[in-house]
Amino acid sequence: MTKPRITSPDFWKALADDQSRSSANKKCMTAECWDKAAEGYDDLDACHDYMAQVNGVVNILKEAQILTSRCNMLDIACGTGTYAVRMAPFCKKITCVDISGRMLDKLREKKEMAGIENIELIQADWHKFSTERRFDLVFCSMSPLLKDMNNVDRFIGYSKRYVAFVTWAGIRENMVLSELGTKILNRKPGKHLSDMNILFNYLYARGYAPELHFFRGCWKKKRSVEKQIKNLIWRLEMYRTLDQKEKEYVASYVRERAENGMMTITTRVRTVLMIIDQEAETFTCT
């Protein structure tokens, strides 16, 4: 059987399929996984560099006249609505879909506190989600769904014109997670399979020329000792369940490095906003 050429979308789709067959990938597709993360998910909102990215993405989409008073938007894997609540004032309506009920509970609280009326919440597994509606903008940020090009095809299919993705772009360095992963798992977690390289090349092979906007920074999460322990165990258990001795090691690691009952973990990152304008690829020459 002839293998697809590197210029073929099938080449990149097959590569994505091959790299996403991991236990970590399967676990991060469940509601249980993200329900566990919901409690501390918004802790990153206190980080200047992270919020600079969030606000930067919103501003870029506004300035490009993608977010407008006529825009009906689909936010896939919306989490607690970090982007949705900031985009809502500039849109006609945002439909938010997430597999995690607890994530959506957090978004519901934000929506009610801010008096936002144009956000619709839908709890659904994306792989089972279906709608006859089409949207002016389909948006997905930092989701493991971006590892699978079949999902990407569906994102594009639900869009009338614009699609926007936010994902990792080659740098994701967390020394704490690296040290713990090496000690406990004999590996360094954090090499994200949803990095931009396969995604960009797949879209390019499909005939698109995504507009790219890069962000760089240090994401700092300052949490209580117990909260930091809980989050690190959650991250490590993406790969396998930890036994009690391993969990105790994580706890002692954090307590030894904490100050006044708090610990800050820093991740050096580079991320990217990709924008597809499907109408831009239909130009003609006269």
pLDDT per residue, tens digit, the chain (286 aa), is 567 888 999 999 999 888 776 655 666 778 888 998 898 999 999 999 999 999 999 999 999 999 999 999 999 999 999 999 999 999 999 999 999 999 999 999 999 999 999 999 999 999 999 999 999 999 999 999 999 999 999 999 999 999 999 999 999 999 999 999 999 998 877 555 568 999 999 999 999 999 999 999 999 999 999 999 999 999 999 888 999 999 999 999 999 999 999 999 999 999 999 999 999 988 888 8
Strands 119-123 and 262-277: unpaired
Q: Which amino acid is at 229?
A: I
The CATH number of the structural domain formed by 9-170+193-216+270-279 is 3.40.50.150
As a residue count, the chain comes to 286
R_g of the chain computed on alpha carbons: 20
Q: What is the spatial distance between Cα 238 and Cα 189, in angstroms, rounded to a whole number?
A: 9
Q: Which residues of 8-33 are buried (b: 16+ CB within 10 A; e: fewer)?
A: ebebbbebbeeebeeebbebbbebeb
With CA atoms as reference, report the closest residue to 94 among 139, 59, 44. 139
**Total-model pTM:** 0.93
Work out the burial of residue 169: count CB atoms within 10 Å of its CB; fewer than 13 is exposed, 13-18 middle, 19 or more buried: buried
Q: Where are the alpha helices (DSSP H) in 20-100?
A: 23-27, 31-37, 48-63, 84-87
